[in-house]
Amino acid sequence: MPSSVIRRFDYDPRAHRLDITFVSGRRYSYHEVPPDVVDEMKSSFSKGQFYNRKIRDHFEFTRRD
């Protein structure tokens, strides 16, 4: 199901970096994200809710705009 908040996300397993682009156009890189968290996100019904519960406020990030 498409997200109303997240436009796309990509994961670099070597760097453990999750890059998220929001529908607003803002882009963030979340650091030291374990692969199992990304797998959970991929299979979650609501990417936005998953992001709010498991990623936001849990990992350091860099804004990429």
Over residues 21-54, the pLDDT tens digits come to: 999 999 999 999 999 999 999 999 999 999 999 9
- Residue 20: count other Cβ atoms within 10 Å of its Cβ: 23
Residue 12 lies in a domain: yes
Residue 24 lies in a domain: yes
Domain assignment of residue 58, given as a range: 6-63
Residue 15 lies in a domain: yes
Sign of the C-alpha dihedral computed for residues 49, 38, 34 and 18 taken in this order: negative
65 contacts: CB under 8 Å, gap ≥ 6: 25, 26, 27
Label residue 30 exposed, middle or buried (CB < 10 Å: 0-12, 13-18, 19+): buried
Question: Can you give the pTM of this predicted structure?
Answer: 0.91
Q: Domains in the chain: how many in total?
A: 1
Q: Are 64 and 27 in contact (CB under 8 A)?
A: yes
